[in-house]
Amino acid sequence: MKQYDIDVSEHPSDYYLFEPRFLVGTIQLALTVIEETHNFSQAHTGDRTMDRDLQYKPARAWLTIDQVLKIIQAGYPASLVNEQDSLQMYVYIQNHLDTAMRFLSGSMHHVKAPLDDLLALDKLADMVFVHARIQMGKDDTAPEGMIAGLSLSGMGENSIFKAAATKSLDQQAAASEDDGYPKRKPYAAQLMDLIHNGIEAGTYQL
């Protein structure tokens, strides 16, 4: 499978969530939520106040998509230092979501599937797509099958999630309805149905 000259056919879809790394801007404290914390230097001055302040100091690190998601879920800021990376990140995320949903569709595999993780990943796809869609070009040049989108605001070192936070997703979708860029249809509703049905049947727990 190849999208926008980004090849995702060499490895299973989950490989691209855990192996490729992106230069991400965050704060020093956010890096403590990542398992490989020992890879990131933590400054200690002996002064508790200064050490606390240093925890909120801007930091950069090469992180995987899985690590970025962990940081966001913990409530910390994250930004792509290189805005051009948003397209590659989006393709990796969407490829995994498409693969997972094909696997889950019309089957009982969802009983043990990490549906809540897929739901969080789908939300991340929405956030990244705000920026990635601009690189995809107008609809007449975009490959067939790319479906949903939001308007772009804030790039570069601005949070890749800030655009989605400034206006509601519905407001952004309406504003971008006729802008000619690709649009994305989230999997959130389908995933919520699977979660709801599984909880009701007693076969799934969050």
Domain residue spans in the chain? 2-201
CA dist list (Å): 7 to 2, 26, 125: 5, 28, 18
| High-pLDDT (> 70) share of the chain, % | 61
Residues 24 and 81: beta-carbon distance below 8 Å: yes
CA dist list (Å): 139 to 29, 135, 153: 41, 11, 20
Across 25-34, 75-84, 91-100, 187-196, least confident range: 187-196
Q: Pick from 52-66, 177-191, 192-206 the range whose average pLDDT is largest.
A: 52-66
CA nearest 15: which of 66, 83, 63, 62? 66
Residues 155 and 128: beta-carbon distance below 8 Å: no
SS3 string, 85-115, reads HHHHHHHHHHHHHHHHHHHHCCCCHHHCCCH
pLDDT at position 37: 47
Across 107-121, 126-140, 165-179, least confident range: 165-179
Instruction: Tell whether the model's pLDDT for residue 169 goes beyond 60.
Output: no
pLDDT at position 87: 95
* 21 — pLDDT class (breaks 50, 70, 90): very high
Instruction: Tell whether the model's pLDDT for residue 173 goes beyond 90.
Output: no
* 73 — pLDDT class (breaks 50, 70, 90): very high
